[in-house]
Amino acid sequence: MCNFRSCAFCVVLITRLLLPGLAFSQKDTVRIGKNKEVLVFPVIAKSIETGWSFGAASAVTFHISKADTATRTSNMQGIALYSLKKQFITAINGAEYFRKERFVLNEQLSYSSFPDKFWGLGKYAPDSAVEPYNFKQYYIYLHLLRKLSKGLYLGTLFELQKVFDVGYKPGGLFDQENIAGRYGYLVAGLGLSFTYDNRNNAFAPDKGNFAQIYFDHFDKYLGSQYVYTNVVVDLRRFIKIYHKQVLALQAYGFADFGDEIPLRSLASLGGSGSMRGFYQGRYRDRDMLVFQGEYRIPVRNRFGVVAFANTGDVGHSLSDFSIPDFKFSFGGGLRYAINKSERLNLRLDYGTSFTGNSGLYFQLGEAF
């Protein structure tokens, strides 16, 4: 959820809230009633992009139906961060599993105001081309899935993105490459999804598969200023190897179709969940392919370690991809279970690449 790229130092302080009316659980969290648990913890971080950042994060786990113990645990996570460079981000992510998982609702709501970096479009954008820019953004993502049969879902989704107060270098890369949306924009889209999901846990599965394809069409009848279609394919597999050690694999494809694709709807390579070690958005274009693998090893009590490797690239079209051009990154990390029963982990990952890109990430939950 929070991503401190190229982080030089990161400290996380975890506290349990004991409010009137709450009964303290000896397991992992503060328990509210019989089927809800909440964690709240302050966050202090320092990174190259943000300097010192201060804020708070929280995670709530619950069962919508107390009697339906076979249904996976629902969860909601929130974070708010403010840096000494006057950067601010607040976000809520959630996944609610209704009785017998007949319906599943995923949502993301966020507001952000912070500077970013842009290297231009394409897989050959050089490091020296970097230009700073800043923006503010509201983002809404709602995805409702209806169970068709065991593990198989049909879904509908809604996405809205409002980008405003964009500041960039006049006559620089944004103007030279005629980047759509550089003056700010609003886009809204509706889509359909097909999902197969038999993972045994919502946070850190140790067996099962996840396969999803969705089509999201942005059009003027929804108030969108740009007309285009986004297609995403996400394939994951989790294999228990030995003594709770897990091999996690993912193949991810992203493609945009349309005459103009606004800036922050372009494929964006890098970040805490994909191609760790690359600045999020280090490479941007219409399409993207990423393959990643992670080996997860429990060590003792609440602690674990991981090793991961990633490869991927962006392209202007699917025919633009070439294996010799693919980027690579690899690294490792630490895990601390803040909720052992639900397998909810804090993770600290360091990723690097052969090209000198590197980053340290603090995150609530696994990369995928």
Residue-wise pLDDT for 286-315, tens only, equals 999 999 999 999 998 899 999 999 999 999
Mean pLDDT of 69-97: 86
**237 or 42, which is more confident?**
237
168 vs 182: CA distance, rounded Å: 8
Sign of the four-CA dihedral 28, 31, 37, 42:
negative
Upper half-sphere CA count for residue 130 (Cβ side, 13 Å): 9
Instruction: Give the C-alpha distances (Å, rounded to integers) separating 248 from 127, 172, 208, 240, 326.
Output: 31, 41, 10, 9, 21
Q: What is the pLDDT of residue 61?
A: 81
User: DSSP assignment, residue 221?
Assistant: G
Per-residue pLDDT band for 9 (boundaries 50, 70, 90) equals: very low
Q: What is the pLDDT of residue 33?
A: 52
141 vs 137: CA distance, rounded Å: 13
Mean pLDDT of 173-200: 95
Per-residue pLDDT band for 51 (boundaries 50, 70, 90) equals: low
Q: What is the pLDDT of residue 57?
A: 84
Residue type for position 218: F
Residue pair 212/191 in contact by the 8 Å Cβ criterion: no
Answer yes or no: is pLDDT of 46 > 60. no
Least confident of 12-26, 49-63, 138-152, 157-171: 12-26
Q: What is the pLDDT of residue 339?
A: 75
276 vs 217: CA distance, rounded Å: 29
Contacts of residues 128-134 at CB distance under 8 Å and 24 or more positions apart, as own/partner, are: 129/173, 131/168, 131/169, 131/172, 131/173, 131/174, 132/168, 132/169, 133/166, 133/167, 133/168, 133/169, 133/174, 134/165, 134/166, 134/167, 134/168
pLDDT exceeding 70 applies to what percent of the chain? 88
Return the structure tokens found at 257. 């179709």
* Opening angle at CA 38, ends 33 and 42, nearest 5: 150
Q: What are φ and ψ of residue 336, in 5° steps?
A: -135, 120
Strand pairing class (185-197; 208-218): antiparallel
Least confident of 75-79, 188-192, 304-308: 75-79
Residue-wise pLDDT for 247-287, tens only, equals 999 999 999 999 999 999 999 998 888 898 888 889 999 99
Q: Is 358 helix (H, G, I), strand (E, B) or coil?
A: strand
pTM: 0.82
The domain ranges of the chain are: 7-364
Topology (CATH) of 7-364 = Porin (2.40.160)
Closest CA to 275 of 243, 303, 312: 312
Closest CA to 342 of 63, 19, 58: 63
Residue-wise pLDDT for 111-126, tens only, equals 999 888 999 999 999 9
30 CB contacts (<8 Å, ≥6 apart)?
16, 17, 18, 19, 22, 24, 37, 38, 39, 40
